[in-house]
Amino acid sequence: MDEDERLINVVDIEATCWRGPTPQGQTGEIIEIGLCVVDVVARERVARHRVLVRPERSEVSAFCTELTGLTAEEVATGVGFREACALLEREHRAGARVWASWGDYDRLQFTRQCAASGVPYPFGARHVNVKAAHAAAHALPRRLGMAAALRHDGLPLEGRHHSGVDDAWNIARLALGVIGRDAWPLPVARPGG
């Protein structure tokens, strides 16, 4: 079996943000990419990665630090957005593997930022909105936030909420639950086959 069929990249990003409106001359930019690799055959999370991304058109606000734990000094040590996207392809085969996120925010933010920066979109077309898949798998009347979905499934939150790497880890666990219920919206490799 091809490794790209066996592995899914679960992605969660954090971006610059402010309490209230975006300050004039700034724009929300990705400052952290959390990635958890899921082996759909073994039905387990097999790796977790964190990429810090240096913002180019915005600053990390005090509100952003309070929410994410990321400081301006910390993200200043990150790579540029172009290098972060290249790293996703080079080290995590982002263009070849199915990728997943909680909702569509992450996919749309990558789309917007790639277009604004002239950076090639790093992911392939096969994206799963785990938030929607989770609601459908459990026949919920509405889509839950990630923390509420964990509580619904009787799972503890591991790590810090609004940390990209920790949220990707938790979303991957929810994705495995959806896969285990045979409710994943794309075909997945099965154990023993």
The β-bridge partners of 8 are 38, 98
Q: What's the one-letter identity of residue 143?
A: R
DSSP-derived 3-state class of residue 112: helix
User: What's the pTM value of the predicted model, to 2 decimals?
Assistant: 0.96
Residue 131 token pair: 């938030």
Q: How far apart are CA 96 and CA 115, in angstroms?
A: 20
- Residue 147's pLDDT band, with cuts at 50, 70 and 90, is very high
**Cα-only R_g, the chain:** 16
> Which tens digit of pLDDT belongs to each residue from 34-53?
999 999 999 999 999 999 99
For tokens 């077309």, the residue is 125
Taking alpha carbons only, the member of 173, 174, 165, 172 closest to residue 14 is 165
What percentage of residues in the chain have a pLDDT greater than 70?
A: 98
Q: Quick one: which H or E segment has residue 192?
A: none
Mean pLDDT of 87-92: 97
Summary count for the chain: helices (H), strands (E): 8, 5
β 7-15/30-39 pair status: antiparallel
Specify the CATH number for 3-180; select among 3.30.465.10, 3.40.1190.20, 3.30.420.10, 3.50.50.60: 3.30.420.10
- Has residue 119 got a pLDDT over 90? yes
User: Domain spans of the chain?
Assistant: 3-180
- Three-state SS letters, 36-80: EEEECCCCEEEEEEEEEECCCCCCCCHHHHHHHCCCHHHHCCCEC
Any idea what DSSP says for residue 148? Answer: H
Q: How far apart are CA 45 and CA 8, in angstroms?
A: 9
